[in-house]
Amino acid sequence: MIGTWHGLIINCPKPQQLAPFYAELLDYVTVQDEPDWVVIGKSPDQPGIAFQLDENFVPPTWPELSVPTHLHIDIRIADLDAALAEVERLGGKLRQKSVADFWVCSDPEGLPFCLVKF
C-alpha cells in the first residue's frame, strides 16, 4: 500500500456556495473553510470532499459529451422523487431519468451527479 484515500477535490467557480449544497445532500459538516477552498465530511479525521476555486470553470454537458466531465458522484437514496425534491430545494436540477432507478442531476454549478435507488 502506498497510502490511504484522503479526499476528492472538485474544481468549481464558487466553493463557498457549492460546498453547503453537498454538505446538506450528504449530511456532512464543513471541516475546513477558506475563501477558495472548502472541505466537507463526516469529521476532520475522515476522507472528505474539497471544493477548490477554479476561475476558468466550464460546466460539463454530460451525459451529452460536447464538454466532458472527468468524474461524478453517485448518491444512494431510498426514494427518487423525495430525493429529487430535496435536490431541487437546494438549487440542483434533474437532467435525465436514465432508467427507473438511476437519475442524472446537476448541482447549482452544473456539475453532474446521480441519484441511485437501492
Q: Which domains does the chain have, with CATH numbers?
A: 8-57 (3.30.720.120), 58-118 (3.10.180.10)
Judge contact between 18 and 51, C-beta under 8 A.
yes
Count how many residues are written for the chain: 118
Gap between the Cα atoms of 19 and 7, Å rounded: 14
Give average pLDDT by consecutive 10-residue segment, the chain, 118 residues: 82 95 96 96 94 93 80 89 95 90 92 89
The per-residue pLDDT for 3 is 65
Determine how many CB atoms are found less than 10 A away from the CB of residue 54.
15
- Cell representation of residue 109: 454549478
Query: Distance between alpha carbon 103 and the CA centroid of its chain, in Å?
Result: 14
Q: How far apart are CA 109 and CA 100, in angstroms?
A: 25
The model's pTM is: 0.83
